[in-house]
Amino acid sequence: MAPLTDWPAPRRRAITGVFTDIDDTLTTEGAITPDALQALQRLRDAGLHVVPITGRPVGWSEPFASSWPVDAIVAENGAVALTRAAGGGLLKIYQQDAATRDANFARMQDVLARIEREVPGARRAEDSAGRETDIAIDHSEFTHLPQDAIDRVCALMREAGMTATVSSIHVNGWFGAHNKLEGARWIVRELHGEDIEDHLDRWVYVGDSTNDVLMFEHFPHSVGVANIARFLPQLAHPPRYVTRAERGAGFAEVADALLAAR
């Protein structure tokens, strides 16, 4: 990884959109800080598209989709998005149809119960009530799971045919082909009728953990906030650049870099 200051100004100037993780990228100690919120507003005021993509549940995301200056929030690792409806309020859209979601939900509850039964210390995330298309085990938000337990949780999810990823706070699992990258492709089609693959160099992704690795690998412009150092040994594809500051302050640093080049 190179320091963010090495990101060439002409390439920063060409950026028209920002995808970002939320937990420990936009937030600090579980809440968005004033500098990160102001950074979102400054990006919006400059005409950039901003789309957070998170493993958090759609229910948890609703107040932020209503109040933050963003185009949309893609939740549950790409499965569902919250956008602004034409007449005001929020519109919830899904990648899977209702019948598929219902069938998957029942299967996921069985896997969740097995994990809690077989992995010592494993407990569902406290935001689980807001989840519609995935399950989550808390490993660092309100409890601590050792790495061997995290690995066992992932193994049980994958044994059941689920995708499993590890964020800075949770182990997430779901049925389906979606992920953060597919969620990014999907939301750009939904909002702008465009194929993001035609203009990847106009977007940057900002993240902090192993569930961001697909985005780091795929986008030519990718940034890790400084607290990504915790996960570097587990990243097959680290981001191209890294900020000096951690969490929300690191995201504000990215916004500063983008706006300074305009």
> Do 41 and 170 sit in the same domain of this protein?
no
Phi/psi of residue 160, nearest 5 degrees: -85, 0
- What pLDDT is attached to residue 143? 95
Please say which residue of 174, 189, 210 terminates a domain.
Answer: 174
> Do 10 and 44 sit in the same domain of this protein?
yes
Asked if the model's pLDDT at residue 237 lies above 90, the reply is yes
Structure tokens at 225: 């906030």
Burial class of residue 170 (count of CB atoms within 10 Å of its CB; 0-12, 13-18, 19+): buried
Total domains in the fold of the chain: 2
In this prediction, residue 86 has a pLDDT band, given cuts at 50, 70 and 90, of confident
Supply the CATH number for residue 31's domain.
3.40.50.1000
Please say which residue of 174, 206, 237 terminates a domain.
Answer: 174
> Do 107 and 218 sit in the same domain of this protein?
no
pLDDT per position as a tens digit, 186-209: 999 999 999 999 999 999 999 999
In this prediction, residue 43 has a pLDDT band, given cuts at 50, 70 and 90, of very high
- Write the CA distances from 223 to 131, 203, 207, 246, 247, integer angstroms: 28, 11, 7, 12, 12
- Taking the CB of residue 93, how many other CB atoms lie within 10 A of it? 13
> Do 164 and 248 sit in the same domain of this protein?
no
Reported in sequence order, the residue ranges of 67-202 that DSSP labels E, i.e. its strands, are 72-75, 80-84, 90-94, 135-138, 163-166, 170-174
- What pLDDT is attached to residue 24? 96
In this prediction, residue 82 has a pLDDT band, given cuts at 50, 70 and 90, of very high
- What pLDDT is attached to residue 88? 80
pLDDT per position as a tens digit, 153-170: 999 999 999 999 999 999
